Structure formats: C-alpha cells, structure tokens
C-alpha cells in the first residue's frame, strides 16, 4: 500500500533520528526521578548511544559502579504522537468514505486503531521493563 520510496524514508525514523539535547534528557530524568543526574549517577554520557523516533538511550554508571542504559522519551513526544494519530484517523476515515469499493477487505480505520494501540504501548516504558524482567527471569 505504501510506495517503496516512502518506506525507505520512514525506515529512517526507526533508529537514525538526530538526538534531543542532553539538557532536555537530563531535565526529563530529573523531573521523573526527583533528583539531579549528578546525584543519581556516578557517570552519565552526554552523547546518546542510540536515538530513535520516540526515545534515546544514554549510558550511565550507578553509584555502586553498575553500568546501565537510560532510555529517555523525547520532550513532547506524547502530544506529537496524539496529533499524528488524529491526522491518520482523519485520513483513514476519508479514504474509507471515498474509496470504499476499491478497498476490498482493507480497513484503514482499523489499521490506524491498531497502530495507535501499539504505539501507545511502546510509549509506556513500564511495559518494556516488565518484558525485560520476564526475559531475565526466563533466561
């Protein structure tokens, strides 16, 4: 359904996104954890080791010496995603209205609804932590 040229461009959003500023990342961490980055971590890398469309990852060292990865959501990403979902739902609704016969079994609104469900789960890092903990327990 999507032209190859667009797929290539969209793939870049997965893991080759310019990072947010280190100051923004530190501010978000401090707001979430209620303390300064300097007090929470013995060391914190300013340059992220990975940056994608929703979040970026920094390396850090806890006071006890344990190396950790800190995943920080981009500032304002919740609102950006909600606006994008509204636009996608509007377009899907119009496509269904104007191209119902051509769509056959395709369900644009259903596809957007499923995407919205998945992206909202991806935004909830508690779910990711639960999966990591389950994996660690199992393996």
Per-domain residue ranges for the chain?
1-74, 76-139
Region 82-90 average pLDDT: 96
Predicted local distance difference test score (pLDDT) of residue 42: 97
Q: Which residues contact 38 (CB under 8 A, 6 or more apart)?
A: 44
pTM: 0.76
Q: Which residue has the tokens 């999966």?
A: 131
Give me the percent of the chain exceeding a pLDDT of 90: 76
Q: Which residues contact 129 (CB under 8 A, 6 or more apart)?
A: none
Q: For residues 122 and 116, what is the distance between their CA atoms, to the nearest angstrom?
A: 10
Q: For residues 77 and 73, what is the distance between their CA atoms, to the nearest angstrom?
A: 7
Q: For residues 27 and 5, what is the distance between their CA atoms, to the nearest angstrom?
A: 37
């Amino acid at each position: 359904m999507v032209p190859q040229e667009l797929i290539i461009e969209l793939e870049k959003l997965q893991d080759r996104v310019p990072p947010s500023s280190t100051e923004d990342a530190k501010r978000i961490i401090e707001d979430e954890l209620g303390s300064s980055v300097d007090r929470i971590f013995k060391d914190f890398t300013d340059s992220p080791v990975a940056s994608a469309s929703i979040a970026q990852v920094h390396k850090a060292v806890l006071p006890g010496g344990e190396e950790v990865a800190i995943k920080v959501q981009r500032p304002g990403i919740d609102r950006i995603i909600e606006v994008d979902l509204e636009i996608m739902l509007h377009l899907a609704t119009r496509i269904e209205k104007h191209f119902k016969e051509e769509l056959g079994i395709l369900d644009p609104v259903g596809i957007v609804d499923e995407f919205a469900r998945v992206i909202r789960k991806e935004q909830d890092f508690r779910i990711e932590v639960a999966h990591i903990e389950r994996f660690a327990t199992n393996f």
